[in-house]
Amino acid sequence: MSDLAVSLADIEAAAARIEGVAVETPLLESAALNERMGLRVLIKPETLQRVGAFKFRGAYNRLVQLTEAERKRGVVAFSSGNHAQGVALAARLLGIPALIVMPADAPKVKADATAGYGAEVKFYDRLTESREKIAAAIAAERGALVVPAFDDPHIIAGQGTAGLEMVRQARARGAELGCVVVPCSGGGLLAGVATAVKALSPDTVMVGVEPAGYDDTRTSLAAGVRTPLTPTHRTLCDALESPCPGELTFPILQATVSDIAVVTDAEVAEAMRYAFSVLKLVVEPGGSAALAALLAGKVATRGAKTVGLVLSGGNVDPDQFAQVLRGEL
């Protein structure tokens, strides 16, 4: 896999950079979930990461490597929320000016948090405007660096540190991960985690999870080529609405991922309720995708005795979360 954008060495270097800054999230286990699934489930709650999502790992790994001149010119990013917050906090910690381009309909909790970390926020209409063009124009005007949400080797390597931790933490419990299930949008988290896990544990089966109607990675892997989708509807999983896997992430996914499960909004909502009532965790829709696939029986665990699961984020709008808990969504 040496021709791929990210190696185990890159992820180990990222782990050294973010150590003491990012949270080494725990590996949790629920007797109730183990009993329900008939196997051991080890949960990586990136809901407990800084900014409430795994995105801080990659953002900090990218920004901490900027030169002094690049830091002064600042950074620009575009995101519906979690990447925005990750970049905003990393920029604040490193003294870098940051502007984030966000959709006007982004969850208010994410937009408010992004501004709260000190970033300048520019809203756009996701139906009529291109966030890429807006970000590129601002970056050109300011001489700033655009920080991609997933298609960047430093971002992928940073996200992969979660995979390094998972394998190490599982082995500390005497467990080998037979299968690891990870939510997937543009593929940065899945590509990074899969690179780390497969390097350390080659027999582990990697499974990604996408929302129904946004299964571009599943379609692309089946076709053998990146295949963009034209979405016809929104999904509850606002964090997983990328219409196409990345140029850098896709070859990594081809080399490491065995299967992509697809979950419905109803299954995601049920997983959010389960996480809240049984696991005692607040998990946003996109962050619940892997749990949703497992609970719905959509993960082919292939005889694995131990399954690793990433809960990728917990930044859910309070009103939406209340509706989910009441069974209205």
Q: What are the tokens at 136?
A: 């590129």
Coil, strand or helix at 28? strand
Residues 26, 49: Cα–Cα separation, whole Å: 10
In order of 54, 137, 302, the CA distances from 45 in angstroms are 9, 36, 24
CB 102 within 8 A of CB 114: yes
DSSP string, 47-98: GGSGGGBTHHHHHHHHHTT--HHHHHH-EEEE-SSHHHHHHHHHHHHHT--E
Residues 129, 219: Cα–Cα separation, whole Å: 26
Backbone angles phi, psi at 78, to 5 degrees: -130, 135
Backbone angles phi, psi at 52, to 5 degrees: 75, 20
Any idea which residues carry the catalytic annotation? Answer: 55, 312
